[in-house]
Structure 1
Amino acid sequence: MDQKDWKILKILHEEKNITKTAEKLFVSQPSLSYRLKNLEREMETDIIFKTKTGIEFTSEGEYLVNYAKEMLQRLQVLKDNINDMSEEISGTLKIGVSSNFAQYILPNLLKSFSNKYPKVHFNVSTGVSSDVYRMLNDSSIHIGILRRDYQWHGGRKHLLNRESLYIISQSEIDVMKLPEYKQIDYKTDSSLKGIINHWWLAEFASPANIEMEVDRLETCKELVKSGLGYAIVPEICLKEEDKLYKKEVESKDDLTVKRDTWLMYNADYENLVIVNKFIEHMKSWGNIK
């Protein structure tokens, strides 16, 4: 087994599909199948078997996948440590970022960090917070920026920011009568949905009148700007030039409803200079956002 085999096993275990794995690895399906057969001959055991929905791993295959993930992690630590030996801060920083944070905050954040350390390169993966959490557990990223607090055993985490949620509309509306207005909903991660739903159930006896459901927060905002309804959104997406009516979401006891942003990383990486510098940079986010 070598590095290519480790990567094949890791991705195949994630996808459970030969075709999708071949596409991700930029190889042909026959070439991938041939390599897997050779690996099975080398290990003298079956690694995978076909099912109606794709493929599954044998117990021996699961063992090899765990080995492959461990070896890929060790290889990355080796590369990171070699880069760390240089007096000048350089190398590739792998970051997993919650989608909304990636859209509204990350560009300026990376630009300001790059201005300080121009020889640092970035490998950025985005998704909902649960995706980023999975990447952290797989050790496929150095640092995760999440919009939800997860139990993170053996790792480090810092609360970076607490932001308000806002009710937005084209013109002023009576917040006490929200169920009577048309709401525009959007796809987001379950943690934000949970915060909004928990607040709604505590405030109103009737459900929201959802007129439209869209796949992106920005699409939702544009529809609100057109006067087609109101929305409940995180502060992170709001700008003065939007020129929208906005009202901070508050509970009956006059407490504002907040959403947290967390920085999480594996303790194994905290001795890397490139990671430490980015952590310092993130902690000052309040001054650069």
Structure 2
Amino acid sequence: MNSLVLKYILTIAEEKNMTRAAERLYISQPSLSQSVKNLEKELGVDLFERSQRGGVLTPAGEHYVEWAKQILFAEAMMKRKIQDISAKNVRQIKFGTTPQRTSYILDFVVNQFQKEYANYKIFLEDRPSTELYELLDRGSLDFIIDNTNNDTLNFRSIPLIRENLLLAVPGTVRLPAETKSGYCYPVVDLAYAKDQSFCLMPEDTSLGRYSLTLCKKAGFVPDMRLQCRRQATAHLMVQKGFAATFVNELMVLLGGASPDVNYYYITPDFPSIEVSLIYRSDHTPLETDRQFVEQIKAFFSEKIAHAFK
């Protein structure tokens, strides 16, 4: 049994579909099915229920998947430590973040970190949160940058910044708002946006759920005319005058502001999200990791200070 077979099983379990798993793994479905059958024959149990979709785990399969995650993670950590010991000049950092944060994270990676630490090789994954956590579980990533995780048993979160959530409306829309000292944009009661059409992210995303909660607290159900999975796409819909949406403050302050959009801080709660550097609790950071953590914490502090000048 090798690690490739373990990755096959995990991918099928994640996709819950043999065809999609084969596409993701870049192998043929017959080859993937045969690998599963060979493993099941070796183990003497069925790992997946025999159904049309072919990706539903049996109880034995669920236990196997948990074991496979631990094995792959341990293998990844072993390779990291060996590389860190043996590499004379090159160090590796593998981290991921969501698409809406990529633009300003790249600024950190390209313009700051690698200039100061030329002997580091950076691997950046640009994916939705669910996929980032899958890679973190496997040990394919050392860190992810995402909203702080409340699961303190399995993960450690190093707070980086706390950012407000902004209401973004087309430039032709003016809401009754007031200016406040120390704030980059006017402040508005979200209830005044009840008549706007919205473009929101789906409920299986943290921002999508949070957006609906905010509207409910403001006393209305949003008229959702559009739905998309990327915050940048929703922001584009606002620029085109199609709908309103909610955006992270950093995306706007660090280069994403548009002259065709009016941005507002939201009362009465001034909703905010804590962003953290997250890693598995059983991941023992190397010296390489510690230097990266300190540099990225300093980067966020400097960027926020500059944005509010």
Cα distance change, pair 92–20 in 1 and its aligned pair in 2 (3 A): farther
* C-alpha deviation, 1:136, in angstroms: 3.4
Q: Tell me which of 216, 235, 238 is aligned to 1:201.
A: 216
Task: Answer yes or no: is 1:242 the counterpart of 2:241.
Answer: no
Q: Deviations over 1:188-224 (max 9, x none)?
A: 6643334433433333x44444454445433333343
Contact 2:97 2:145 in 1 (8 A): yes
Q: Is contact 1:93–1:275 with CA below 8 Å preserved after alignment?
A: yes
1:130 and 1:30, CA in 2 relative to 1: closer, same or farther beyond 3 A?
Answer: closer
Residue 141 of structure 2 aligns with an amino acid whose one-letter code is I
Structure 1 position 173 matched with structure 2 position 175: yes
CA distance in 1, matches of 2:65, 2:97: 25
Gaps of 5+ in 1: none
Amino acid at match of 1:263: L
Cα distance change, pair 60–133 in 1 and its aligned pair in 2 (3 A):
closer
Amino acid at match of 2:280: N
Residue 261 of structure 1: how far off its partner (Å): 0.8
Deviations 1:3-62 (A, max 9, x none): 222222222222233333332332222323333333333334444341133233444444
Q: Is the 1:249–1:256 Cα contact (8 Å) retained in structure 2?
A: yes
Tell me how large the CA RMSD over aligned residues is. 3.0
Change (3 A) 1:151 1:40: closer
Residues 129 and 148, structure 1, Cα contact 8 Å, conserved in 2: no
C-alpha contact 1:93 1:123 (8 A) present in aligned 2: yes
Aligned in 2, Cα 1:42/1:108: closer, same or farther, shift over 3 Å?
Answer: same
Q: Summarize deviations over 1:107-161 as a string: whole Å, max 9, x none.
A: 1122122223334334433444344344434444211211244222153212211
**Once the two structures are aligned, what percentage of the paired residues are identical?**
23
Cα shift at 1:71? 2.2
Contact 1:192 1:259 in 2 (8 A): no
Q: Offset of 1:282 from its aligned partner?
A: 2.0
Report what 2:43 is aligned to.
Answer: 43
Structure 2 counterpart of 1:142, which letter?
D
Q: Contact 1:181/1:230 (CA < 8 Å) preserved in 2?
A: no
Could you tell me the TM-score, scaled by structure 2's length? 0.77
SS at match of 1:56: coil
Alignment of 1:101-116 (within 5 A): 101-102=101-102, 104-111=103-110, 112-116=112-116
The alignment covers a number of residue pairs equal to 284
Taking the aligned partners of 1:14 and 1:46, their CA distance within structure 2 comes to 17
